[in-house]
Structure 1
Amino acid sequence: MSSKASSSEKVSSSEKAELEIYKGAGGLKKVVLRDFSGYSAEVSLYGGQVTSWKNKRGEELLFVSSKSAYKPPKPIRGGIPLCFPKFSNNGSLEQHGFARIRFWNIDPSPPPLPTNSSYKTFVDLILSPKDLLPNDKTFWPHSFECRLRVALGLTGELLLTSRIRNINTDGKPLTFSFAYHTYFLVSDISEVRVEGLETTDYLDNLQNKERFTEQGDALTFESEVDKVYVSAPTKIAILDHAKKQTFVIYKEGLPDVAVWNPWDKKAKALGDFGYDEYTRMLCVSPAAVETPITLKPGEEWTGRQKLCAVPSSYCSGQLDPQRVIRGN
């Protein structure tokens, strides 16, 4: 059980929308968002990482490994890690960048919330060079502001908005890649299909990043998958046949989508991953990978991911993703 670190405080004009700070696993501080309808989300200040998203019945929607150490400098395995300033696992910086293994702060001066927004339950976090280690600055010597807003909508949708600004004073551009490396909790990977990526080109990381075109009418899973779909559609559906549930992913400012499942052999080689947990997770990650983002001094980039979990319908014995995709 987690122990409470501070009393709740209101974060908006909504009387029932609450934000609380707790000590979670490993003593790491986390922010808990609770919507008046019963939806909730948890955000670890370590990594600025969403580690829980529950529907109004209290059912968890994100996967977090039972083997995750919750011990810096190791990353938390699961939830929604932010991959910044890189997504690849090559180069001098840590795999997937430093953002997911540094301590973020609650933002004292966040961008204003639109007056007509339905997102009344939210938290704003910030990561800046003062939060980094000396080695980070050696390999990535830039001044930047990385802001993250995590918000719950009125019907339980989870919205992540990232803003990255180049505040270099030496005139140098800032170039980075980015991903919301989202781990979805599924009933069984063999019962899952992904709709929306048909005919999309992808880079296959299991075949030296060779480029192919997706041929099937849906992605199904029978072995390890590690692909980056480039210039992907803005809306994607993950259909879980056994749960009769569909995740719908909307993305803005993030042209690509990474899809990953380690399968049994790779899972057994990961120290922070249960050997059979690959059957209950799937990563589908809005990203900017193929073409990195470059900002001139003073420029700002914004990227968004919105997640919805909705009941699936059947059509001739099959899940009908088109109804879901046409819906929201």
Structure 2
Amino acid sequence: MSNPSGLPPFDQPPPPPVELSKDRRNGVDQFLLRTSRGASALVSLHGGQVLSWKTDRGEELLFTSSKAIFKPPHPLRGGIPICFPQFGNRGSLEQHGFARNKIWRVDDTPPPMNRNESSDNACVDLLLRPSEDDLKLWPHSFEFRLRVSLSTDGGLTLTSRIRNINCKPFSFSFAYHTYFLVSDISEVRVEGLETLDYLDNLCQKERFTEQGDALTFESEVSRVYLGSTGTVAVFDHERKRTILIQKEGLPDVVVWNPWEKKSKTIVDLGDEEYRQMICVDGAAIEKPITLKPGEEWTGRLELSSVPSS
């Protein structure tokens, strides 16, 4: 085979770490982040949503429903939807807020790298500002800056910066509603939540304390764990893989799996797909974030995948 560059194959320059394309399913711009080792992440301007996160062996780590609807403004079931300015249902806003349904744009004036970020990372910076229709439903002006960063070792970091550019304070709740792909939900356990109080959405948000060393799954689970400060780990026994979840500015952890009966009522989720997914979210729900005029809040989610026995 000819080699137009005249360089031997091993001297070929690496592919660009960020590649822009259009999603063939909806025509929306998306960005592929890649590392020299082969890890990747795919980020869409639809919702500022991470659609895919793969290891350097090409293994997908995020779940997307086979029935997911990719046409905006419908929310897309899978990946990492961003829930803002609310999580759940409240008032006139749609469930989980409007940020996940909007078309974001590239941030031309992104914030500088912080001490935890490396210039070697592949990253994309996005920006969301409210439309006139948004302001009619939620009358607060804001700037929402999102950085999605993929480190050389394949770790994925999402950093959200929300600034109040209003003339009065406002409050919001927030979640990175992360759908992890698992081999079988019955073979999964979640550690790092032991002894924490949680609100059980299946029991009118009654408050309980986690008694077990690990959370396992035999039926529907919908909980908000409170005051989580340590690392949360999602162990997938069959795949011999563990996802580690670390966070800043996000005191709560949502754990959700709809199980069989609930799955059959969700139009954009296959009846049996609950077996291959678990949502474990970094969130701020119990105590909403309040920003005075000019103030900014930062919430960071760091995800990594490691082998386990």
Secondary structure of the residue that 2:216 maps to in structure 1? Answer: coil
Deviation at 1:20, TM superposition (A): 1.4
* Cα deviation, residue 120, structure 1: 2.1
Q: Deviations over 1:13-38 (max 9, x none)?
A: x9755211112122222111111111
Q: Which residue of 2 aligns with 1:89?
A: 89
Tell me the residue number matched to 2:145.
147
Partner of 2:293: 297
CA distance in 2, matches of 1:85, 1:177: 6
Determine if contact 2:104/2:128 at 8 Å carries over to the other structure: yes
Aligned counterparts of 2:271 and 2:260: Cα–Cα separation in 1:
7
Identity %: 63
- Change beyond 3 A, Cα 1:208–1:29: same
Output the CA distance in 2 between the equivalents of 1:308 and 1:133: 38
Aligned counterparts of 1:17 and 1:55: Cα–Cα separation in 2: 17
For the Cα contact (< 8 Å) 1:186–1:192, is it kept in 2? Answer: yes
Are 1:272 and 2:271 an aligned pair? no
**2:18 pairs with 1:19:** yes
What is the rounded CA distance, in whole Å, between the counterparts of 1:16 and 1:271 in structure 2? 39
Match of 1:287 among 279, 283, 299: 283
* CA shift digits 1:95-137 (9 cap, x unpaired): 00000000000000000124773352100000012xx351x21
CA distance in 2, matches of 1:15, 1:240: 32
Unpaired runs of 5+ residues, structure 1, are 1-13, 314-328
| Mapped partners of 2:55, 2:132: distance in 1 | 37
| Mapped partners of 1:141, 1:104: distance in 2 | 19
In 2 relative to 1, CA 166–222 (structure 1 residues): closer, same or farther, beyond 3 Å? same
| Structure 1 range deviating more: 220-229 or 116-125 | 116-125
Q: Where do 1:179-328 residues align within 5 Å?
A: 179-313=175-309
What is the distance in 1 between the residues matched to 2:70 and 2:274? 19
Q: How far apart, in 1, do the equivalents of 2:283 and 2:171 lie?
A: 14
Distance across 1 between alignment mates of 2:117 and 2:250: 22
CA deviation vs aligned residue, 1:125-176 (integer Å, no higher than 9, x gap): 00012xx351x211211110001000001110000000000011x3x10210
Amino acid at match of 2:233: A
Aligned-partner residue type, residue 125 of structure 1: L
Normalised by the size of structure 1, how large is the TM-score? 0.87
Can you list the C-alpha shifts for 1:19-69, whole angstroms capped at 9, x where unaligned? 111121222221111111111000110100000000111111000001011
| 1:162 counterpart = 2:160 | yes
State whether residues 254 and 280 of structure 2, in contact with CA within 8 Å, keep that contact through their aligned partners in structure 1. Answer: yes
CA distance in 2, matches of 1:224, 1:114: 39
Task: State the one-letter code of the partner of 1:264.
Answer: E
In structure 2, distance between residues paired with 1:200 and 1:72: 37
SS at match of 2:126: strand
Q: What residue number does 1:122 align with?
A: 123
Partners of 2:197 and 2:65 in 1: how far apart? 30
1:103-122 alignment to 2 at 5 Å? 103-114=103-114, 117-118=117-118, 119-122=120-123
Q: Does 1:62 align with 2:62?
A: yes
Equivalent position amino acid for 1:21 in 2: L
TM-score w.r.t. length of structure 2: 0.93
- Structure 2: any 5+ residue segments left out of the alignment? 1-12
How far apart are the structure 2 equivalents of 1:91 and 1:208? 18
Pick which of 25-34 and 252-261 moved more: 25-34
Q: Which amino acid aligns with 2:122?
A: T
State the partner residue of 1:76.
76
Please give the alpha-carbon distance, in whole angstroms, between the structure 1 residues aligned to 2:172 and 2:117.
Answer: 29
Cα deviation digits, residues 254-283 of structure 1 (max 9, x gap)? 000000000011111111001100000000
2:135–2:141 CA contact under 8 A, matched in 1: no
Root-mean-square deviation (Å) = 1.4
- Aligned position for 2:5: none
| Of 251-260 and 232-241, the range deviating more from structure 2 | 232-241
